[in-house]
Amino acid sequence: MGEGVLMAGQGGSGAGGQASLLADAGLLLGPDGLMMAGVPLAQIAREVGTPAYVYNAETIRRQFRALEAAFAAIPHRVCYAVKANSNLAVLRLMHDLGAGADLVSAGEMRRALAAGFAAQSLVFSGVGKTVDELDETVSAGIGQVNVESLEELKLLGAVAARLDRITSVGIRVNPDVTTDTHPYISTSHGGIKFGVPHDQVRAAADYIRDHPYLRLTAVAMHLGSQLLDPAPYAEALGKLVALVKALRAAGVSTLESLDIGGGLGIRYQPEAGPGMDPSALAAVVGPLAAEAGLPVTMEPGRFLVGSAGVLLTEVLYRKHSGGRDFVIVDAAMNDLLRPSLYKAHHEIVEVVPAGRPAGPVDVVGPICETGDFLALERILPAVEPGERLAALCAGAYGFAMSSNYNTRGRAAEVIVDGGRWAVVRPRESVDSLFASETADPFATLSDNG
Ligand code: LLP
């Protein structure tokens, strides 16, 4: 196959499916192996080293536009969930596309402001906001704070009054709806920490109505992540719309939006369908939003950036042990936690296919835990030390969840756009990891008196 032709399977877990995953990522097979927006991934790996995250700006734009197109007939705004990938270059891209942003910490607000977002375009979600975070975000003039408990609401009211800032509030409701996703990322059934329970929403709304510094502008939900079926959105939104009607009947006249959260899933498995169809979602959301007479706010993270990123890694060693074949690579669970934490599937492909026969291997990292793997029992072509692999669909919750475990510097991040590429976060130096630590604290204290 020549340049511009999608690569078929490499003896992996499904030839046709793998081609779809590569297309989702905006990857093509050229004479130098996998190409992202005209740039060979092998060149990036050579020049930047591995492990390295590489993001395709054009794929992010494509996803954003697909969502915008699907929701074109519905008054709406997209607030990108910063937690999925908070690199400033990604945030700037989202800002330039016209997105707002959804935050889960004051730290994320600082990033968003640094990337150019107006404070008014930001929504602050999260179950455990601290008083310092409320202070910082309210003083910045944040667009909306989604509260998750009555106690938080009271604290927010006190902060807004002290700072003399009228603050827009969304009540994040727990709609008690079950979703079909990994239990760790399902966030909308009863008995979990998220959202204000249905029977406390009225009390929250009354509190806001009676508070001179709070305005109830949204009713919000977030069902969970990696959802592929719009049905739970319909069910939960039905409950939210009933709530909106009840609130209006009780005299609430300040509502400005229905916040449906994020959660739109993508394709990870080679043989899987193409992820959440945004038009199918729009088809269930549109009529309900119209019934409520409110514009929609969306908080997608993964849908916008997940497919757009790959994690490049180099093969260090091979080993046969206990009847299994291992490929030991230089990326580990500290770089990409999802396989270890959720048993998540990330398709692994050769950066430059060598055409060797395939067989089952475990792809594992250097970290001292048996749970440190990128893939188990994966059919991969025989690879040699020094060759490079790419873990696909790593743009969301990849770098963002990485850590320094085992005193490993976090990976470099690179963005590719229209034939150009740039490092947008250099690899962390090992020295920087312990530069602020003190080996002998008490000696230091006595030195200073
Ligand atoms: N809004 C709220 C309030 C959220 O909690 C989340 C994600 C989002 C929006 C964005 O969800 P998305 O559109 O990306 O599904 N680390 C996990 C995912 C955790 C998601 C947490 N909340 C993973 O790697 O799959």
Looking from the CA of residue 338, the nearest atom of ligand 1 is 24
Q: Is the pTM of this model over 0.85?
A: yes
Q: Which of 218, 241, 204 has its CA nearest to residue 168?
A: 218
For residue 5, pLDDT over 80 is answered with no
Residue identifier of the C-alpha nearest atom 19 of ligand 1: 185
All residues at 6 or more sequence positions from 153 whose CB lies less than 8 Å from its CB, including other chains: 147, 169, 204, 207, 208, 214
Q: What is the pLDDT of residue 357?
A: 97
Task: List, for residues 359-381, the tens digit of each pLDDT value.
Answer: 999 999 999 999 999 999 999 99
Please give the Cα distance from 25 to 7 (Å, whole number). 12
- Using most ligand atoms within 8 A of CB, pick from 90, 144, 299 the residue to mutate for ligand 1: 299
Please state at what angle helix 278-292 crosses helix 57-70, rounded to 10 degrees: 40
Question: pLDDT (tens digit, 9 = 90+) per residue, 194-241?
Answer: 899 999 999 999 999 999 999 999 999 999 999 999 999 999 999 999
Express the helix, strand and coil content of the chain in percent, nearest 5 each: 35, 25, 40
Strands (DSSP E) contained in 148-187 are 167-174
- Indicate whether 316 pLDDT > 80: yes
pLDDT at 444 over 70: no
415-440, pLDDT tens digit by residue?
Answer: 999 999 999 999 999 999 999 999 99
Residue type at 293 in one-letter notation: G
Whether residue 328 is predicted with pLDDT greater than 60 in this model: the reply is: yes
- Ligand 1 mean position to 185 CA, how many Å? 7
Averaged over 267-288, what is the pLDDT?
A: 96
**Straight-line distance from the first to the last Cα atom of the chain, in angstroms, rounded to the nearest whole number:** 72
Report the atom number in ligand 1 closest to the C-alpha of 262. Answer: 13
Task: Name which of 294, 290, 71, 284 is nearest 170 in CA terms.
Answer: 294
* pLDDT bucket at 179, cuts 50 / 70 / 90: confident
pLDDT tens by residue, 11-45: 344 456 799 999 999 999 988 899 999 999 999 99
Q: Which atom of ligand 1 is nearest to the CA of 263?
A: 15
In 10 A of CB 31, how many CB atoms?
A: 9
- Confirm whether 368 is a catalytic residue: yes
pLDDT of residue 16: 60
- Is residue 154's pLDDT more than 90? yes
Ligand 1 centroid to residue 302 C-alpha, Å? 7
Instruction: Note the pLDDT of residue 446.
Output: 58
* Residues within 6 Å of ligand 1 by CB: 81, 83-84, 102, 125, 185, 222, 225-226, 261-264, 299-303, 338, 396-397, 401
Mean pLDDT taken over the chain = 94
**How far apart are alpha carbons 215 and 206 in whole angstroms?**
11
Strand residues in 230-308 grouped as ranges (E)? 257-259, 296-298
Residue 249 has pLDDT above 70, yes or no: yes
Q: 204-212: which pairs have CB atoms within 8 A and are 24 or more residues apart?
A: 204/147, 204/150, 204/153, 204/171, 205/171, 205/247, 205/250, 205/252, 206/250, 207/150, 207/153, 207/154, 207/157, 208/153, 208/157, 208/169, 208/171, 209/251, 209/252, 211/157, 211/160, 211/161, 212/161, 212/166
Backbone phi, psi, residue 59, to 5°: -70, -40
Domains and CATH numbers, the chain: 18-56+307-428 (2.40.37.10), 126-298 (3.20.20.10)
Percentage of residues in the chain with pLDDT exceeding 70?
Answer: 95
Given the residues 249, 368, 435, 439, the one annotated as active site: 368
pLDDT at 11: 35
Burial string for 253-287 (b: 16+ CB within 10 Å, else e) reads eebebbbbbbbbbbbbebebeebbbbeebbebbbe
Residue 182 pLDDT > 90, yes or no?
Answer: no
> What average pLDDT does the segment 154-164 reach?
98
Q: Provide the percentage of residues in the chain whose pLDDT is more than 90.
A: 89
Confidence of residue 191 (pLDDT cuts 50, 70, 90): confident
